[in-house]
Every structure is written in structure tokens, then in C-alpha cells.
């Protein structure tokens, strides 16, 4: 009930704030997109894995959008978004089939390494990618309608809020489906999961592809909003921010990522106004603080009373599941 109220209230507040203060539209859409991508990271976090390179999927999707928009001018935004998501899903499926064999440190660092490779390749192949300057995208039509800048941003705001509510609830349903519960079992005890006849790698792969798709959607939306894609969008710091948001929001509920993202955007605006140049310092400090004080994040704190209803007995986690 609480969750539904927050979701509805939050969605309405986002739209209302965007309409009332046009300058805030970009910030809100960006924050929600960060939330979508962080939701992808949170999906993996439920399986006990953390990816330090997930911005690469947002980046891959953004470049797909840019390439297509430049090659075929007049392509509709909906098609561009679809193509971006498809590209991130496909690359997630390929890369995922390799990285799901690893856990924890290896999983985190392999993702980081791959994203670093993508980042530097995008910067090096100037002729194709425009180097560090990136690629411009002209404003496309949205569902066949050509819009001016203000209308385009409003439309993107509405689309983004809609997608966030839709995907947020779908992912939450996924968490409590059998596939989603199996994903959480990868964290608690992988060996027992295998004894049930389920392939832990396969389950993690599903989660990985889903998370890549979510990050890709976010990347495509941001690319269309900004009209510019740069290798910067795949930099490790972006991935770090996604991890930050997912931890801050907590993986207990899909809503957490969006709350985390809005909190993140507020911290960012605050830091930009008063504390320029120490942005990472603040992020790092808050990250460590959250881990030490409330490892479950915001949703962990919000949903705490419910856990008391569960039986007291919790099987001891067994060290070294593999």
C-alpha cells in the first residue's frame, strides 16, 4: 500500500514539477533514466552480484541511436529507442554468456574491464565515433509528430514516467516470480539451487540480459533528450553512479532505484551549486556511509516492519557456495 502510494505520488509529482518548472524537465528525465539503469544493476544485486561496468550498455544503446539517426534521418524516436534497447539486449546476451560464469570480484571487474575497453575504443576510432567529441543527433519525430523543443521535452518526460512506472512494476513482479526468486537464490546458496535442478548460470544470464536492456533503454532516452552522445556516457564513473544509486535505493523493491536516483539528482544539484570539484568525494563518502549504516538502502529501511512477520528462523548462510 505504502509502495503504491509512493509510486503514484512520485509519478504525479514528477510530471507536475516538469510542467510547472520547464527548466526542471531535463533533470527529472535524466534522474528517472538513471533510475531505470540502476534498476538493472539492482536486478543483479539481488543475485548478489555487482557490475562496475553497466554504463556500457547505456552507452552502446546511445551510440546505436546516434548511428541510426545519422544514417537514416527522419527515423522516428520510438524506432530509435527500440533499436537501442535491442542492441543492448543483444550485446548483453553475448557478453552475459561469458560473464555469468564468474561471481563477485571477477564478475564486477570483468564488467569494468569490458566497459573500459568500449570507452577507449569509442575515443580512439575518431572517423566512426567522432572521438571524445561524440556524435550529435537531430531532434527526431516522436510517434510521427514533429515537435518543438519544449513539446519534445514534455513528451519525453511523459514517456519516461510511463515507462518507469510500467517497467518498475514489471520488474517487481519478476522479483517474485519463480525466475526472480531463483535469481535471489543465486545469492543465498547457489549449490542448493543447482540441486533443485536449476542452472544458476542460466538464471543469472536471464537477469543479466534484463539488466542490460534496462540500462540500454535509459541510455537511448538520455541520448534523445540531450541530442548528443559521448564516450563519457560509458565511463566507469557513470557505472559507479549506477551502483551508488542501486545501493542507496536498496534492492528490496524495484521502487528503490527510482527513489535512489531522485535522491542522487538532488545531491548532484546541491554539489554543483555549493561544492564543485568534490563530486566523487561526496559520492564515495555517502556510499561508504550507506553501507556501514543501512546496507539495505532506503527500501530496506522502508520495508523493515514487514520482515518481523516472517518466521524468526533463518538458515545460516554457508560460506563459499561454490
The footprint of another protein (CB under 8 A) covers: 45, 48-50, 52, 98, 101-102, 104-106, 108-110, 112-114, 116-117, 120-121, 124-125, 191, 236-237, 240, 243, 247, 277-281, 283-285, 287-288, 291-292, 295, 318-322
Q: Which is nearer to another protein, 122 or 221 (CB)?
A: 122
Q: Residue 297 and residue 319: Cα distance in Å, rounded? A: 24
Shortest CB 299 distance to another protein, Å: 16
Q: Which is nearer to another protein, 62 or 248 (CB)?
A: 248
Q: Which is nearer to another protein, 177 or 191 (CB)?
A: 191
- Return the C-alpha cell found at 293: 549504516
Shortest CB 173 distance to another protein, Å: 25
CA angle 33, 210, 287 (to 5 degrees): 55
Residue 124: Cβ within 10 Å count: 12
Shortest CB 295 distance to another protein, Å: 6
Q: Are 148 and 135 in contact (CB under 8 A)?
A: no
Shortest CB 110 distance to another protein, Å: 8
Q: What pairs with residue 135 in β-bridges?
A: 229
- Return the C-alpha cell found at 15: 510530471
Shortest CB 103 distance to another protein, Å: 9
Q: Which is nearer to another protein, 162 or 295 (CB)?
A: 295
The Cα-based distances of 115 to 61, 91, 235, 248, 257 in angstroms read 13, 12, 7, 23, 22
Shortest CB 104 distance to another protein, Å: 5
Shortest CB 240 distance to another protein, Å: 6
Q: Which is nearer to another protein, 16 or 291 (CB)?
A: 291
Q: Which is nearer to another protein, 151 or 284 (CB)?
A: 284
- Return the C-alpha cell found at 185: 537464490
- Return the C-alpha cell found at 276: 564543485
- Return the C-alpha cell found at 242: 549506477
Shortest CB 261 distance to another protein, Å: 18
Q: Which is nearer to another protein, 183 or 221 (CB)?
A: 183
Q: Which is nearer to another protein, 107 or 258 (CB)?
A: 107
Residues in contact with 221: Cβ distance below 8 Å, sequence separation at least 6, in sequence order: 29, 33, 36, 81, 156, 159, 160, 163
Shortest CB 247 distance to another protein, Å: 7
Burial status of residue 11 (CB atoms within 10 A of its CB: 0-12, 13-18, 19 or more) = middle
Q: Which is nearer to another protein, 120 or 199 (CB)?
A: 120
Amino acid at each position: 500500500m505504502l509502495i503504491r502510494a509512493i509510486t503514484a505520488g512520485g509519478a504525479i509529482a514528477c510530471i507536475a514539477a516538469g510542467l510547472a518548472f520547464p527548466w526542471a524537465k531535463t533533470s527529472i528525465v535524466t534522474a528517472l533514466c538513471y533510475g531505470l539503469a540502476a534498476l538493472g544493476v539492482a536486478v543483479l544485486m539481488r543475485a548478489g552480484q555487482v557490475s562496475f561496468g553497466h554504463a556500457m550498455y547505456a552507452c552502446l544503446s546511445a551510440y546505436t541511436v546516434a548511428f541510426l539517426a545519422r544514417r537514416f534521418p527522419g527515423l522516428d524516436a520510438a524506432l530509435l529507442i527500440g533499436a537501442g534497447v535491442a542492441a543492448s539486449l543483444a550485446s548483453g546476451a553475448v557478453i552475459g554468456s561469458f560473464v555469468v560464469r564468474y561471481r563477485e570480484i571477477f564478475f564486477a571487474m570483468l564488467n569494468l574491464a569490458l566497459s573500459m575497453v568500449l570507452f577507449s575504443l569509442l575515443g580512439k576510432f575518431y572517423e566512426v565515433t567522432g572521438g571524445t567529441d561524440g556524435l550529435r543527433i537531430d531532434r527526431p519525430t516522436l510517434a510521427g509528430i514533429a515537435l518543438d523543443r519544449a513539446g519534445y521535452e514534455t513528451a519525453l518526460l511523459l514517456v519516461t514516467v510511463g515507462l518507469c512506472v510500467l517497467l518498475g512494476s514489471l520488474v517487481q513482479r519478476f522479483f517474485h516470480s519463480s525466475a526472480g526468486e531463483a535469481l535471489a537464490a543465486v545469492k543465498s546458496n547457489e549449490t542448493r539451487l543447482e540441486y533443485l535442478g536449476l542452472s544458476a548460470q542460466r538464471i543469472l544470464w536471464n537477469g543479466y540480459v534484463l539488466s542490460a536492456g534496462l540500462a540500454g533503454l535509459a541510455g537511448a532516452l538520455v541520448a534523445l533528450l540531450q541530442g548528443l552522445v559521448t564516450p563519457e556516457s560509458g565511463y566507469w564513473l557513470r557505472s559507479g553512479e549506477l551502483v551508488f544509486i542501486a545501493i542507496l535505493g536498496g534492492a528490496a523493491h524495484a521502487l528503490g532505484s527510482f527513489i535512489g536516483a531522485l535522491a542522487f539528482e538532488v545531491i548532484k544539484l546541491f554539489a554543483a551549486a555549493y561544492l564543485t570539484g568534490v563530486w566523487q568525494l561526496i559520492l564515495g563518502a555517502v556510499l561508504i556511509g550507506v553501507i556501514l549504516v543501512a546496507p539495505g538502502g532506503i527500501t530496506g529501511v522502508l520495508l523493515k516492519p514487514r520482515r518481523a512477520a516472517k518466521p524468526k528462523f533463518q538458515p545460516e548462510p554457508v560460506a563459499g557456495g561454490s
